[in-house]
Structure 1
């Protein structure tokens, strides 16, 4: 099978780290194609950047020329997953939702450690919309923006570990989710330090994508995620969007 892993920011170094993590998790025979946004922010730490990234991700997926079996969107809690589901030809997996699903399978309560405090609301909202908030003990911020996590790994590791430790000790978290794709690669080290499972969203996304594809399942098109209706779109950066606009909503 082929899985598209889409980094919603423009950072090439973060894309390379995401690609390594996805390939490490992928089963033999699974092809990983990792893409990054052609425009937008190098690090997504605001609603503005997040909404812009959603357009960039839809652009990448809608114009990808070859067949694929699944899409993993590698923005933790970023908007746009629902839009991608409407235009993708295969099931779509958001890493925040995937990480939380996995965490709930292996512990009663989980916490997320993310970047900045302003990013916690987007993650809380994503978990609530997905029905995954009830067992979330906390969403904690390490105090570094996305670019800093990528460029200063020593400080990032120290601050992420401190917040993960507090989540376990103070919030009674039994599992920790790394709440930024730039944190990929830290899961095993933090798990060894704290003695609790730590879930990497990229790994969770790839693993669940493989499982669903192997089960022969895909996105339901009966209503919510039906293809966009016959709507005139002008000045939109999705150059091939017209091919997706021929199906009316059935509900």
Structure 2
């Protein structure tokens, strides 16, 4: 089984870290092929960054060297999710959607601990979209820059732990969702320190991808997830045309 793991930003170090976390939970026989767009922001910390990153996700799905059995979008904003589902019949899983649903299975209410405070509203909109806003009791920004997670210092780890402890107490939550793919390598440590379920969407998405593939389930091509209509595309997007 081949899972195409797309880091929507252009940080090679982060792509490698996310890939390592994915391979750590993958079943024997699952091949994780990690990639990133050829263009776009080095980190995704705004609506502007996310808009460009979404095009990068579509690029990577469209130009994959061989068709994957499943696709995981490893960014907490799930950028380009619908476009990716149009572009392939393979199951496409965004890590935010996967993490929210897993957390709701493990607790009656969960909190999200993310990076920049300005991105909290983006997570809140996803919760509304996925119908998970009633299960989430709070979204907490730490103002830890995304790239600070590449080589996470003890101080940064302690800052994330402190934010999670505050969230658990203030929100009366039973679980923590990590709001950035770059936090994936920290999941086990934070879980041990906090003593509650700590959910990394990368790991959950990989396991769900494996399950959907093993069940023979594919993305529906009926209606709005049908392949895009063939048409000319200008400029750099010319290579992506149908």
TM range (shorter): over 0.9
* 1:64-213 correspondence to structure 2 within 5 Å: 64-213=64-213
State the distance in 2 between where 1:238 and 1:93 align. 26
- Name the structure 2 match of 1:12: 12
**Structure 1 segments of 4+ aligned residues over 3 angstroms from their partners:** none
Unaligned residue ranges in structure 1 (runs of 5+): 244-251
State the distance in 1 between where 2:10 and 2:130 align. 26
RMSD of aligned Cα (Å): 1.3
Residue 242 of structure 1: how far off its partner (Å): 2.5
Residue 153 of structure 1: how far off its partner (Å): 2.9
Q: TM-score, with normalisation over the residues of structure 2?
A: 0.96
- Name the structure 1 match of 2:62: 62
State the distance in 2 between where 1:34 and 1:44 align. 18
Kept in 2: contact 1:62–1:238 (CA 8 A): no
Number of equivalenced pairs: 242
Residue 236 of structure 1: how far off its partner (Å): 4.3
SS at 2:154 equivalent = helix
Kept in 2: contact 1:78–1:123 (CA 8 A): no
Residue 124 of structure 1: how far off its partner (Å): 1.1
State the distance in 1 between where 2:23 and 2:79 align. 25
Residue 59 of structure 1: how far off its partner (Å): 0.6
State the distance in 1 between where 2:219 and 2:131 align. 17
Residue 221 of structure 1: how far off its partner (Å): 1.3
Kept in 2: contact 1:114–1:179 (CA 8 A): yes
State the distance in 2 between where 1:214 and 1:22 align. 18
Residue 155 of structure 1: how far off its partner (Å): 2.7
Residue 235 of structure 1: how far off its partner (Å): 2.0
Residue 151 of structure 1: how far off its partner (Å): 4.1
Residue 113 of structure 1: how far off its partner (Å): 0.6
Kept in 2: contact 1:59–1:238 (CA 8 A): no
Residue 37 of structure 1: how far off its partner (Å): 1.9
Kindly tell me: are residues 103 and 182 of structure 1, through their superposed partners in 2, closer, same or farther at Cα, counting changes over 3 Å?
Answer: same
SS at 1:72 equivalent = strand
- Name the structure 1 match of 2:241: 242
Q: TM-score, with normalisation over the residues of structure 1?
A: 0.92
Kept in 2: contact 1:176–1:196 (CA 8 A): yes
Kindly tell me: are residues 78 and 238 of structure 1, through their superposed partners in 2, closer, same or farther at Cα, counting changes over 3 Å?
Answer: farther
Between 186-195 and 89-98, report the one with greater CA deviation.
186-195
Residue 200 of structure 1: how far off its partner (Å): 0.8
